[in-house]
Every structure is written in C-alpha cells, then in structure tokens.
Amino acid sequence: MTFSQRLLPLVALVLASLSQGLALAGSPLYRISVNGMVCSFCAQGIEKRLKALPGTESVHIDLSKGMVVITARPGATLDPATLKKAVRDAGYEVRGIEGPSATSTGAPGTPN
C-alpha cells in the first residue's frame, strides 16, 4: 500500500468532520420570547409542538428567561408564523421572535 493510499482514509475522515462542523455552524437559530411559561410541566407542550415541525433539529427551553431556542435542521428555515402558532397551540403567548441567526459557539443547542 502506497503512502497516498494510506493517507486517503485519513483525508476523507478530516473532510467529513469539517463538513459536519460547517453544516452545524450553518444551522439557523430562532429565539422565541414566551409569556406564561412558568414550569416544566406546562412548557413541555411547547417543546413537543416545536419538535414536531419538520425543520426543527432541537429545542432548548430556559424557564428563568422565558426563552425558547430552536435550532433548525441544516439548510432548513422555519416560518415565524408557524412557530408562533405552535406556541399558541400549547397555550402560551409569543412576545417576540428573533432569527434566523447562525449557530455560534456555545449556543444553546442542547437537545432536550
């Protein structure tokens, strides 16, 4: 096996890792300020409805800030009106929606 043949799998692995990293970095974030979200027992309905949207990768809920952060699937966009309806159907009120913005290091993208 030549040196180039041995190097090829390593190069492929590095490229794949870079590609995945770039894809994640390109996942749009949406931040929704929600009124009335006071406990996890009620807020789980918001998570469930937002996760059911086809473009959603993950949902992070911060009860103390009344904030829901949605990471969209790479290349996907989420309609603000659809996000607002999902929150309303869960029984809550949207104060505002920000996004899409690019994923940044340390962004709350932890799947729940």
Partner 1 sequence: MELSSRAPASAAPLAHKGSIVVSGEVEPAWSSFTVTPAITRSTGVGPALHWMMPETDNSATGDGDSGGQERWSLLMVTQRLHRWNGAQYQANLWAGVGAGLLTTVPGNGNSRGNRSAWAPWAQADFETRRFYIGASTRLFQAADIGRLITSARAGLALTSADYNRWQPWLMLEARTMEGLQQGVEITPLLRVLHRRVLAEAGVSTSGSVRLNLTYTY
**Minimal distance, residue 39 CB to partner 1, in Å:** 5
Beta bridge partners of 28: 102
Would you count residue 22 as binding partner 1 (CB under 8 A)?
A: no
**What is the Cα–Cα distance from 22 to 2, expressed in whole angstroms?**
31
Would you count residue 111 as binding partner 1 (CB under 8 A)?
A: no
Would you count residue 81 as binding partner 1 (CB under 8 A)?
A: no
Closest by CA position to 47, among listed 17, 83, 5, 99? 83
Residues that bind partner 1 (CB under 8 A): 34-49, 61-64, 66, 88-93, 95, 112
